[in-house]
Amino acid sequence: MAAAVVVVIFTVRDGQLSVLLIERAAAPCRGQWALPGGHLLKDETLDGAAIRKLANETGITDVFLEQLYTFDRLGDGHADVVVTYFALVDLMRTRLRSDLEWRPAWHSVRTLQPLAFNNERVLDYASGRLRSKLQYTNVAYSLLPSRFTLTQMQRVYEAIMGEPVDKRNFRRRVVGLGIVRETGTTLKQGASRPAMLYEFTRHEPMTL
């Protein structure tokens, strides 16, 4: 039985939840966009393959990465079983490959066209899992810089949820849950009062 790994790599770009896609340079589905993935190398584990794909496409690995779901075939792919993962990355830390063939690019999740191998099924599943996890984990740590304002954090939540979040309730919740703490430093932005900078109390997955 042939198995493959596919990785859904999310970031927040221009205020929108975005996903990394690869423009296929060979059949099947030449010229279409697809999620990064491929077959396992010899003696490679599933987790190892997912980490390798994440590193190859973004240049980083020390981010949130979790197995998502196992699909029985996807479109016209050659794998009988596709094990999917999803990862969350801070856009400013990523370094995409500059190759002209098998070109990587960020795409807004809200405006995607149909993908190769029915990859929209995987993307829909991953988007739902991410929205759910935002409610009971600290996974947003992987989408933000080491220090950030609560406004920046709120915008990440809004990009993922696809709707506005009440500012006062949001701040009360994230501070009250203990997932972030003040750093004692501020950020001056324009003529407004300096904003307090925060940091996550843990930079690893944590259930609230």
Query: Is the model's pLDDT at 13 over the cut of 90?
Result: yes
- Cβ-based neighbours of 132, under 8 Å, separated by 6 or more: none
Q: Given the structure tokens 């430093």, which residue do they identify?
A: 185
β-strands 104-108, 37-39: how paired?
A: unpaired
**pLDDT for the residue 78:** 66
- Cα-only R_g, the chain: 18
The stretch 138-161 carries a mean pLDDT of 96
Q: Which two tokens mark 145? A: 């810089």
pTM: 0.94
For the beta carbon of residue 97, count every other beta carbon within 10 angstroms. 14
Q: Which residue has the higher pLDDT, 25 or 99?
A: 25
The CA distance from 83 to 46, in Å, is 8
**pLDDT for the residue 144:** 97
The CA distance from 177 to 65, in Å, is 22
Summarize pLDDT for 24-81 with one digit per residue, the tens. Answer: 999 989 999 999 999 999 999 999 999 999 999 999 999 999 999 999 877 766 678 9
The CA distance from 7 to 53, in Å, is 7
DSSP one-letter code for 47:
H
The H or E element containing residue 18 is strand 16-23
Where are the chain's structural domains? 3-136, 139-200
Amino acid symbol at 138 = N
For the beta carbon of residue 93, count every other beta carbon within 10 angstroms. 14
Would you state the CATH architecture of domain 139-200? Orthogonal Bundle (1.10)
**pLDDT for the residue 36:** 97
Would you state the CATH architecture of domain 3-136? Alpha-Beta Complex (3.90)
